[in-house]
Amino acid sequence: MTDDQIKSLKDDISYMKSLADEGASAPLLGGSILVAAGLIFGIASLGEWANATGLIVLDGIQHLYLWGGAGLVFAVTLTVLIHRQKGRPGVMSPANRAFGTAWMGVGLAIFSMAVALSLLGYKTQSNLPGLVFPSLIFALYGAGWAVSAAMSGQKWLWWPAYGSWLLAPVLAWFVNDPSLYLVYAIGLVFLALVPGLMLMRREPSTTV
């Protein structure tokens, strides 16, 4: 190998390393999605808590409207937010691709579990599967935050991961307690909405 070839190879390696470093330092761009999830489903959870405490009265079809409506609003919001992210600087960085894939997996797992637990509740004529659902959601949130922390190198993201994993069994303790959905709503605020806002604040103004 000639000196020119060696120099060219070193330049190529240096260039690839600079691209990798740039990608690793790219800001995470999915904070707005977590803010939307925390806000929309937090409001629905407060509605469920108000029903459990007698502040309002919801029948079966109204429960469906409450959560189905929240899911529909989030789906529309998610579509808009994903479309806005296309073409932003850093959106195709390894960290952002891992972040998007991880949270897409979390979202699809939550949807799949919602269907499965609904069928289980119908089959057994029990509301217990639905009451366990909040715990399962935060167990998955913990996984989403953990992948985000590991791939982005932002160590502070481990805190919402640990918080989500801690809250999962706490929510199980509140099953059949009227406070269940109040605690769930508070969890969504501090483990989805607030971290999402922090991620949004870290985005450079050129990517917002």
Query: CB of 171 within 8 A of CB of 184?
Result: yes
Distance CA 197, CA 17 (A): 31
**Predicted confidence pLDDT, tens digits, the chain (208 residues):** 565 555 554 554 453 444 444 445 568 888 999 999 999 999 999 999 999 999 988 887 888 899 999 999 999 999 999 888 887 777 888 888 889 899 999 999 999 999 999 899 989 999 888 899 999 999 999 999 999 999 888 999 999 999 999 999 999 999 989 999 999 999 999 999 999 999 999 876 654 4
CB distance 160 to 191 below 8 Å: yes
- Cα 105 off chain centre by: 9
Structural tokens at position 101 = 């894939």
Asked if residue 174 lies in contact with residue 180, where contact means CB atoms within 8 angstroms, the answer is yes
pTM: 0.84
Residue 51, C-beta contacts closer than 8 angstroms, at least 6 positions apart:
57, 58, 63
